[in-house]
Amino acid sequence: MDLQTIKNRYDIIGNDSNLLLAIHKAIQVAPTDLSILVTGESGVGKEVFARMIHDNSSRKHKKLVSVNCGAIPEGTIESELFGHVKGSFTGAERDRKGYFEEADGGTIFLDEIGELPLSMQVKLLRVLENGEIIPVGSSASRKINVRVVAATNVDLLAAIRKGHYREDLYYRLNQISIQIPPLRERKDDIVLLFRKFASDISEKYHTPLLRLTDDGKQYLMDYPWYGNVRELKNVTEQIAVVESERTITRDILMNYIHYVPQEKMPVLFHSDSQQNNVITDRELLLKALSMGQMINEMRTEINNLKHIITTMAHGGSIHLPSNADEEFVDSAKYYQIEPHATPSGFQVPTHHDSSFDHHEAFPNTEDVEFQDSEVVENEPISLVDREKSAIIKALEKHSGRRRPAAQELGISERTLYRKIKEYGIGD
Protein backbone atom coordinates (compact mmCIF):
# COMPACT_ATOMS: atom_id res chain seq x y z
CA MET A 1 0.00 0.00 0.00
CA ASP A 2 1.56 3.32 -1.06
CA LEU A 3 1.88 6.37 1.18
CA GLN A 4 -0.79 8.41 -0.61
CA THR A 5 -3.34 5.63 -0.12
CA ILE A 6 -2.44 5.47 3.58
CA LYS A 7 -2.76 9.27 3.92
CA ASN A 8 -6.17 9.22 2.24
CA ARG A 9 -7.39 6.33 4.38
CA TYR A 10 -6.44 8.00 7.66
CA ASP A 11 -7.19 11.56 6.55
CA ILE A 12 -3.58 12.68 6.97
CA ILE A 13 -2.79 16.02 5.30
CA GLY A 14 0.78 17.08 4.58
CA ASN A 15 3.91 16.39 2.59
CA ASP A 16 6.57 17.13 5.19
CA SER A 17 9.47 14.69 4.86
CA ASN A 18 9.57 13.87 8.59
CA LEU A 19 5.84 13.19 8.61
CA LEU A 20 6.13 10.90 5.59
CA LEU A 21 9.05 9.11 7.27
CA ALA A 22 6.94 8.49 10.39
CA ILE A 23 4.08 7.07 8.26
CA HIS A 24 6.46 4.82 6.33
CA LYS A 25 8.03 3.55 9.54
CA ALA A 26 4.62 2.79 11.09
CA ILE A 27 3.58 0.73 8.06
CA GLN A 28 6.89 -1.14 8.05
CA VAL A 29 6.70 -2.24 11.69
CA ALA A 30 2.93 -2.82 11.84
CA PRO A 31 3.10 -6.57 10.92
CA THR A 32 5.51 -7.27 13.81
CA ASP A 33 4.64 -7.76 17.48
CA LEU A 34 7.29 -5.31 18.72
CA SER A 35 6.26 -2.68 21.27
CA ILE A 36 6.14 0.79 19.72
CA LEU A 37 6.62 4.16 21.39
CA VAL A 38 5.05 7.08 19.51
CA THR A 39 6.39 10.45 20.64
CA GLY A 40 5.30 13.96 19.80
CA GLU A 41 3.65 17.04 21.25
CA SER A 42 0.02 17.13 22.26
CA GLY A 43 -2.25 17.50 19.25
CA VAL A 44 0.01 16.02 16.55
CA GLY A 45 -2.20 12.94 16.01
CA LYS A 46 -0.45 10.12 17.88
CA GLU A 47 -3.72 8.16 18.18
CA VAL A 48 -3.99 8.08 14.35
CA PHE A 49 -0.66 6.26 14.19
CA ALA A 50 -1.81 3.73 16.78
CA ARG A 51 -4.88 2.93 14.66
CA MET A 52 -2.73 2.77 11.51
CA ILE A 53 -0.36 0.27 13.13
CA HIS A 54 -3.23 -1.91 14.40
CA ASP A 55 -5.13 -1.89 11.09
CA ASN A 56 -2.05 -3.01 9.15
CA SER A 57 -1.10 -5.81 11.53
CA SER A 58 -2.20 -9.43 11.81
CA ARG A 59 -4.29 -8.36 14.83
CA LYS A 60 -6.62 -6.11 12.82
CA HIS A 61 -9.60 -8.46 13.30
CA LYS A 62 -9.31 -8.14 17.09
CA LYS A 63 -9.87 -5.10 19.29
CA LEU A 64 -7.85 -1.93 19.48
CA VAL A 65 -8.34 -0.69 23.05
CA SER A 66 -7.30 2.91 23.74
CA VAL A 67 -6.42 3.98 27.29
CA ASN A 68 -5.51 7.49 28.46
CA CYS A 69 -3.19 6.75 31.38
CA GLY A 70 -3.20 10.39 32.49
CA ALA A 71 -6.99 10.47 32.89
CA ILE A 72 -7.30 7.51 35.30
CA PRO A 73 -6.96 8.21 39.06
CA GLU A 74 -3.93 6.55 40.62
CA GLY A 75 -6.12 4.64 43.09
CA THR A 76 -8.08 2.85 40.38
CA ILE A 77 -5.61 2.52 37.51
CA GLU A 78 -4.50 -1.02 38.42
CA SER A 79 -8.09 -2.22 38.41
CA GLU A 80 -8.77 -0.42 35.12
CA LEU A 81 -5.77 -1.98 33.40
CA PHE A 82 -5.75 -5.49 34.88
CA GLY A 83 -9.30 -5.94 36.19
CA HIS A 84 -10.46 -7.11 39.62
CA VAL A 85 -12.33 -9.96 41.28
CA LYS A 86 -15.54 -9.72 43.24
CA GLY A 87 -15.05 -8.42 46.79
CA SER A 88 -11.51 -7.20 46.20
CA PHE A 89 -12.49 -3.70 47.40
CA THR A 90 -15.58 -1.74 48.40
CA GLY A 91 -17.93 -1.58 45.43
CA ALA A 92 -16.42 -4.59 43.61
CA GLU A 93 -19.72 -6.46 43.35
CA ARG A 94 -18.59 -8.71 40.50
CA ASP A 95 -15.53 -9.76 38.53
CA ARG A 96 -14.45 -7.23 35.92
CA LYS A 97 -12.05 -7.51 33.01
CA GLY A 98 -9.36 -4.88 32.67
CA TYR A 99 -8.30 -3.15 29.46
CA PHE A 100 -5.47 -5.63 28.86
CA GLU A 101 -7.83 -8.60 29.00
CA GLU A 102 -10.32 -6.78 26.76
CA ALA A 103 -7.54 -6.32 24.20
CA ASP A 104 -6.42 -9.96 24.33
CA GLY A 105 -5.37 -10.99 20.81
CA GLY A 106 -5.40 -7.39 19.65
CA THR A 107 -3.64 -4.09 20.41
CA ILE A 108 -3.71 -1.83 23.44
CA PHE A 109 -2.87 1.83 22.93
CA LEU A 110 -1.50 3.40 26.12
CA ASP A 111 -1.70 7.13 25.58
CA GLU A 112 0.11 9.55 27.95
CA ILE A 113 2.31 6.70 29.16
CA GLY A 114 4.60 9.29 30.76
CA GLU A 115 1.84 10.01 33.33
CA LEU A 116 1.85 6.44 34.66
CA PRO A 117 2.63 6.34 38.43
CA LEU A 118 5.90 4.68 39.44
CA SER A 119 4.06 1.93 41.31
CA MET A 120 2.21 0.99 38.13
CA GLN A 121 5.33 1.15 36.00
CA VAL A 122 6.72 -1.88 37.83
CA LYS A 123 3.53 -3.88 37.25
CA LEU A 124 3.31 -2.89 33.59
CA LEU A 125 6.91 -4.00 33.06
CA ARG A 126 6.05 -7.40 34.52
CA VAL A 127 3.09 -7.74 32.13
CA LEU A 128 5.25 -6.82 29.13
CA GLU A 129 7.99 -9.25 30.14
CA ASN A 130 5.84 -12.24 31.11
CA GLY A 131 2.63 -11.74 29.16
CA GLU A 132 0.62 -12.26 32.35
CA ILE A 133 -1.74 -10.10 34.38
CA ILE A 134 -2.95 -10.48 37.98
CA PRO A 135 -6.36 -8.89 38.61
CA VAL A 136 -6.75 -6.88 41.81
CA GLY A 137 -7.74 -9.19 44.68
CA SER A 138 -6.67 -12.35 42.84
CA SER A 139 -3.68 -14.56 43.49
CA ALA A 140 -3.82 -16.30 40.11
CA SER A 141 -2.20 -14.86 37.00
CA ARG A 142 -3.85 -14.91 33.57
CA LYS A 143 -2.06 -15.26 30.25
CA ILE A 144 -2.72 -12.57 27.67
CA ASN A 145 -1.51 -11.90 24.13
CA VAL A 146 -1.48 -8.15 23.57
CA ARG A 147 0.57 -5.88 21.34
CA VAL A 148 1.42 -2.58 23.06
CA VAL A 149 1.58 0.79 21.33
CA ALA A 150 2.41 3.59 23.77
CA ALA A 151 2.46 7.33 23.22
CA THR A 152 3.75 10.31 25.17
CA ASN A 153 4.36 14.04 24.86
CA VAL A 154 6.82 13.88 27.76
CA ASP A 155 10.61 13.64 27.41
CA LEU A 156 10.94 10.24 29.06
CA LEU A 157 14.76 10.35 29.10
CA ALA A 158 14.59 13.59 31.12
CA ALA A 159 12.00 11.96 33.40
CA ILE A 160 14.38 9.02 33.90
CA ARG A 161 17.21 11.36 34.91
CA LYS A 162 14.91 13.00 37.47
CA GLY A 163 13.87 9.63 38.88
CA HIS A 164 10.26 9.96 37.68
CA TYR A 165 10.36 7.11 35.17
CA ARG A 166 11.84 3.61 35.11
CA GLU A 167 14.62 3.13 32.61
CA ASP A 168 13.89 -0.59 32.14
CA LEU A 169 10.25 0.14 31.25
CA TYR A 170 11.31 2.84 28.80
CA TYR A 171 13.54 0.47 26.85
CA ARG A 172 10.91 -2.27 26.95
CA LEU A 173 8.31 0.06 25.43
CA ASN A 174 10.75 1.68 23.01
CA GLN A 175 11.60 -1.33 20.87
CA ILE A 176 10.55 0.82 17.92
CA SER A 177 10.35 4.62 18.16
CA ILE A 178 8.21 6.81 15.91
CA GLN A 179 8.62 10.59 16.21
CA ILE A 180 5.81 12.80 14.87
CA PRO A 181 7.00 16.34 14.05
CA PRO A 182 5.16 19.35 15.55
CA LEU A 183 3.11 21.52 13.21
CA ARG A 184 5.49 24.50 13.43
CA GLU A 185 8.15 22.29 11.79
CA ARG A 186 5.73 21.51 8.95
CA LYS A 187 5.15 25.08 7.79
CA ASP A 188 4.24 24.13 4.22
CA ASP A 189 1.50 21.82 5.53
CA ILE A 190 -0.24 24.49 7.64
CA VAL A 191 -2.12 26.17 4.77
CA LEU A 192 -3.10 22.75 3.37
CA LEU A 193 -4.58 21.76 6.71
CA PHE A 194 -6.42 25.08 7.04
CA ARG A 195 -8.01 24.54 3.62
CA LYS A 196 -9.00 20.97 4.51
CA PHE A 197 -10.66 21.95 7.78
CA ALA A 198 -12.35 24.96 6.16
CA SER A 199 -13.66 22.74 3.34
CA ASP A 200 -15.07 20.24 5.85
CA ILE A 201 -16.94 23.00 7.71
CA SER A 202 -18.20 24.52 4.45
CA GLU A 203 -19.55 21.17 3.32
CA LYS A 204 -21.12 20.44 6.69
CA TYR A 205 -22.92 23.77 7.10
CA HIS A 206 -23.32 24.69 3.42
CA THR A 207 -21.39 27.94 3.74
CA PRO A 208 -19.00 29.62 1.25
CA LEU A 209 -15.39 28.50 1.35
CA LEU A 210 -12.78 30.51 3.22
CA ARG A 211 -9.97 32.06 1.21
CA LEU A 212 -6.66 33.14 2.73
CA THR A 213 -4.84 36.27 1.61
CA ASP A 214 -1.06 36.18 1.24
CA ASP A 215 -0.49 37.96 4.54
CA GLY A 216 -2.97 35.57 6.17
CA LYS A 217 -1.03 32.55 4.88
CA GLN A 218 2.22 34.01 6.16
CA TYR A 219 0.71 34.73 9.58
CA LEU A 220 -0.52 31.14 9.88
CA MET A 221 2.93 29.84 8.94
CA ASP A 222 4.67 32.12 11.45
CA TYR A 223 2.40 31.21 14.34
CA PRO A 224 4.04 28.57 16.63
CA TRP A 225 0.96 26.30 16.99
CA TYR A 226 1.79 24.85 20.39
CA GLY A 227 -1.54 22.99 20.24
CA ASN A 228 -0.52 21.62 16.83
CA VAL A 229 -3.14 20.19 14.43
CA ARG A 230 -5.82 20.18 17.11
CA GLU A 231 -5.37 23.92 17.72
CA LEU A 232 -5.36 24.71 13.99
CA LYS A 233 -8.57 22.77 13.50
CA ASN A 234 -10.29 24.58 16.37
CA VAL A 235 -9.21 28.01 15.08
CA THR A 236 -10.33 27.20 11.53
CA GLU A 237 -13.74 26.03 12.72
CA GLN A 238 -14.20 29.18 14.83
CA ILE A 239 -13.38 31.44 11.90
CA ALA A 240 -15.59 29.50 9.49
CA VAL A 241 -18.60 29.72 11.80
CA VAL A 242 -18.18 33.22 13.28
CA GLU A 243 -16.80 35.34 10.42
CA SER A 244 -19.17 36.67 7.78
CA GLU A 245 -16.18 37.80 5.70
CA ARG A 246 -14.90 34.78 3.72
CA THR A 247 -11.59 36.37 2.68
CA ILE A 248 -9.38 35.84 5.70
CA THR A 249 -6.63 38.38 6.25
CA ARG A 250 -3.89 38.68 8.82
CA ASP A 251 -5.98 41.18 10.81
CA ILE A 252 -8.88 38.75 11.02
CA LEU A 253 -6.58 35.93 12.12
CA MET A 254 -5.15 38.13 14.88
CA ASN A 255 -8.61 38.17 16.48
CA TYR A 256 -8.32 34.42 17.00
CA ILE A 257 -4.62 33.77 17.44
CA HIS A 258 -2.01 36.19 18.74
CA TYR A 259 1.64 35.28 18.46
CA VAL A 260 3.96 36.44 21.25
CA PRO A 261 7.58 35.64 20.28
CA GLN A 262 9.26 33.49 22.90
CA GLU A 263 12.06 35.99 23.47
CA LYS A 264 9.44 38.64 24.30
CA MET A 265 7.39 36.46 26.64
CA PRO A 266 7.18 37.47 30.33
CA VAL A 267 9.49 35.88 32.90
CA LEU A 268 6.66 33.46 33.65
CA PHE A 269 7.13 31.71 30.30
CA HIS A 270 8.84 28.37 30.83
CA SER A 271 10.88 27.25 27.81
CA ASP A 272 12.70 24.17 29.15
CA SER A 273 10.86 22.00 26.64
CA GLN A 274 9.11 22.41 23.29
CA GLN A 275 5.73 22.47 25.00
CA ASN A 276 4.01 25.64 26.01
CA ASN A 277 4.31 24.93 29.69
CA VAL A 278 3.36 27.48 32.31
CA ILE A 279 4.55 27.93 35.87
CA THR A 280 2.41 26.95 38.80
CA ASP A 281 0.47 29.35 41.00
CA ARG A 282 2.93 28.60 43.82
CA GLU A 283 5.91 29.65 41.68
CA LEU A 284 4.00 32.75 40.58
CA LEU A 285 3.40 33.78 44.19
CA LEU A 286 7.04 33.15 45.15
CA LYS A 287 8.26 35.28 42.24
CA ALA A 288 5.84 38.06 43.13
CA LEU A 289 6.89 37.92 46.80
CA SER A 290 10.57 38.13 45.88
CA MET A 291 9.92 41.05 43.52
CA GLY A 292 7.88 42.87 46.17
CA GLN A 293 10.64 42.49 48.76
CA MET A 294 13.22 43.82 46.31
CA ILE A 295 11.03 46.84 45.45
CA ASN A 296 10.53 47.68 49.14
CA GLU A 297 14.28 47.46 49.81
CA MET A 298 14.99 49.77 46.87
CA ARG A 299 12.41 52.27 48.15
CA THR A 300 14.03 52.27 51.59
CA GLU A 301 17.49 52.90 50.13
CA ILE A 302 16.17 55.75 47.93
CA ASN A 303 14.46 57.38 50.92
CA ASN A 304 17.65 57.09 53.00
CA LEU A 305 19.74 58.60 50.24
CA LYS A 306 17.31 61.52 49.83
CA HIS A 307 17.39 62.23 53.58
CA ILE A 308 21.21 62.20 53.61
CA ILE A 309 21.49 64.54 50.63
CA THR A 310 18.90 66.92 52.11
CA THR A 311 20.66 67.02 55.48
CA MET A 312 24.07 67.62 53.84
CA ALA A 313 22.63 70.43 51.77
CA HIS A 314 21.40 72.14 54.96
CA GLY A 315 24.76 71.66 56.63
CA GLY A 316 23.50 68.95 58.96
CA SER A 317 25.73 66.56 60.88
CA ILE A 318 25.90 63.12 59.27
CA HIS A 319 27.99 60.13 60.24
CA LEU A 320 27.67 56.71 58.61
CA PRO A 321 27.86 53.66 60.92
CA SER A 322 31.05 51.60 61.28
CA ASN A 323 29.57 48.73 59.27
CA ALA A 324 28.41 50.98 56.44
CA ASP A 325 30.68 49.15 54.02
CA GLU A 326 28.42 46.12 54.40
CA GLU A 327 24.93 47.56 54.80
CA PHE A 328 23.19 50.78 53.94
CA VAL A 329 22.47 53.34 56.63
CA ASP A 330 19.23 52.63 58.53
CA SER A 331 16.76 55.49 58.15
CA ALA A 332 15.71 55.06 61.79
CA LYS A 333 19.30 55.72 63.01
CA TYR A 334 20.90 58.22 60.69
CA TYR A 335 19.77 61.26 62.68
CA GLN A 336 21.90 60.07 65.63
CA ILE A 337 25.10 59.47 63.64
CA GLU A 338 28.28 61.32 64.59
CA PRO A 339 30.50 63.04 62.03
CA HIS A 340 33.71 60.97 61.93
CA ALA A 341 33.12 57.21 61.30
CA THR A 342 32.87 57.10 57.53
CA PRO A 343 33.29 54.20 55.13
CA SER A 344 36.50 53.61 53.16
CA GLY A 345 38.09 56.84 54.33
CA PHE A 346 35.34 59.01 52.90
CA GLN A 347 34.79 62.11 55.05
CA VAL A 348 31.25 63.47 54.92
CA PRO A 349 31.68 67.22 55.56
CA THR A 350 29.47 69.19 57.94
CA HIS A 351 29.04 72.90 58.71
CA HIS A 352 31.39 72.41 61.73
CA ASP A 353 34.28 71.46 59.42
CA SER A 354 36.29 74.62 58.70
CA SER A 355 38.04 72.96 55.75
CA PHE A 356 34.76 72.50 53.93
CA ASP A 357 33.54 75.34 51.76
CA HIS A 358 29.76 75.08 51.91
CA HIS A 359 29.35 77.67 49.15
CA GLU A 360 31.70 75.77 46.85
CA ALA A 361 29.92 72.47 47.37
CA PHE A 362 26.41 73.94 47.23
CA PRO A 363 26.54 77.18 45.21
CA ASN A 364 23.58 79.56 45.22
CA THR A 365 21.71 77.65 47.92
CA GLU A 366 21.37 80.62 50.24
CA ASP A 367 18.98 82.42 47.91
CA VAL A 368 16.96 79.32 47.09
CA GLU A 369 14.64 77.66 49.50
CA PHE A 370 15.69 73.98 49.51
CA GLN A 371 12.75 71.66 49.41
CA ASP A 372 12.97 68.17 50.86
CA SER A 373 12.57 65.55 48.19
CA GLU A 374 9.34 63.66 48.29
CA VAL A 375 9.76 60.45 50.24
CA VAL A 376 8.43 57.36 48.53
CA GLU A 377 6.22 55.52 50.95
CA ASN A 378 6.72 51.80 51.40
CA GLU A 379 3.15 51.03 50.54
CA PRO A 380 2.55 47.29 50.74
CA ILE A 381 0.98 45.78 47.66
CA SER A 382 -0.64 42.36 48.12
CA LEU A 383 0.21 39.51 45.78
CA VAL A 384 -3.47 39.23 44.91
CA ASP A 385 -3.58 42.90 43.86
CA ARG A 386 -0.46 42.47 41.70
CA GLU A 387 -1.85 39.39 40.01
CA LYS A 388 -5.28 40.95 39.50
CA SER A 389 -3.71 44.13 38.06
CA ALA A 390 -1.56 42.12 35.62
CA ILE A 391 -4.59 40.17 34.41
CA ILE A 392 -6.69 43.31 33.92
CA LYS A 393 -3.89 45.02 31.95
CA ALA A 394 -3.40 41.96 29.74
CA LEU A 395 -7.14 41.71 29.03
CA GLU A 396 -7.37 45.44 28.24
CA LYS A 397 -4.37 45.20 25.93
CA HIS A 398 -5.99 42.39 23.96
CA SER A 399 -9.54 43.81 24.02
CA GLY A 400 -10.81 41.14 26.38
CA ARG A 401 -9.59 38.18 24.31
CA ARG A 402 -8.46 35.53 26.77
CA ARG A 403 -6.22 33.38 24.60
CA PRO A 404 -3.65 36.11 23.73
CA ALA A 405 -3.95 37.53 27.25
CA ALA A 406 -3.13 34.12 28.73
CA GLN A 407 -0.19 33.72 26.34
CA GLU A 408 1.23 37.10 27.35
CA LEU A 409 0.83 36.30 31.06
CA GLY A 410 2.46 32.90 30.60
CA ILE A 411 -0.50 30.98 32.04
CA SER A 412 -2.98 28.59 30.50
CA GLU A 413 -6.32 29.85 29.22
CA ARG A 414 -8.05 27.62 31.78
CA THR A 415 -6.04 29.21 34.63
CA LEU A 416 -6.84 32.69 33.31
CA TYR A 417 -10.56 31.88 33.23
CA ARG A 418 -10.38 30.62 36.82
CA LYS A 419 -8.55 33.78 37.96
CA ILE A 420 -11.11 36.01 36.22
CA LYS A 421 -13.92 34.25 38.09
CA GLU A 422 -11.97 34.27 41.35
CA TYR A 423 -11.23 38.01 41.27
CA GLY A 424 -14.59 39.01 39.78
CA ILE A 425 -12.93 40.77 36.88
CA GLY A 426 -15.48 42.18 34.46
CA ASP A 427 -18.42 41.75 36.85
pLDDT the model gives residue 362: 45
Cα 190 from Cα 179, distance rounded (Å):
19
Confidence class for position 318, pLDDT limits 50, 70, 90? low
Q: How many other CB atoms are found less than 10 A from the CB of residue 380?
A: 8
Nearest in space to 99 (alpha carbons), one of 53, 48, 150: 150
Core vs surface per residue 199-237: b (16+ CB within 10 A) or e: eebeeeeeeeebebeeebbebbeebbbbbbbebbbebbe
Other Cβ atoms within 10 Å of 316 Cβ, number: 15
- Which residue did the predictor score with more confidence, 253 or 359? 253
**CATH superfamily, domain at 271-305+376-427:** Homeodomain-like (1.10.10.60)
Which residue did the predictor score with more confidence, 37 or 343?
37
Predicted structure pTM score: 0.61
**Residue 304: its pLDDT value, please?**
73
Burial code of 402-425, b = ≥16 C-beta within 10 A, e = fewer?
bebbbbbbbbeeebbeebbeebee
Percent residues over pLDDT 90 in the chain: 56
Q: Is the dihedral of CA 290, 294, 296, 297 positive or negative?
A: positive
Residues 6+ apart with CB under 8 A from 62: 103, 104, 105, 106, 107
What value does the mean pLDDT take over residues 139-165? 95
User: Residue 176's pLDDT is what?
Assistant: 96
Distances in Å between the alpha carbon of 226 and those of 42, 242, 265?
8, 23, 14
Contact 98, 58 (CB under 8 A): no
pLDDT of 243 over the 70 cut: yes
Give the architecture (CATH level 2) of 3-181: 3-Layer(aba) Sandwich (3.40)
The structural domains of the chain, with segments of one domain joined by +, span 3-181, 184-257, 271-305+376-427, 315-369
> Does pLDDT of 364 surpass 70?
no
CB-CB contact of 337 with 321 (8 Å) = yes
> Between 420 and 248, whose confidence is greater?
248
Higher-scoring residue by pLDDT: 424, 218: 218
Contact 181, 16 (CB under 8 A): yes
pLDDT of residue 285: 53
| Tens digits of residue pLDDT in 110-126 | 999 999 999 999 999 99
Give me the residues paired with residue 111 across strands: 68
pLDDT tens by residue, 303-316: 777 777 776 666 66
Task: Find the helix packing angle between 187-205 and 214-222, rounded to 10°.
Answer: 120
Q: Which of 1.10.8.60, 1.20.1260.10, 1.10.10.60, 3.40.50.1820 would CATH assign to domain 184-257?
A: 1.10.8.60
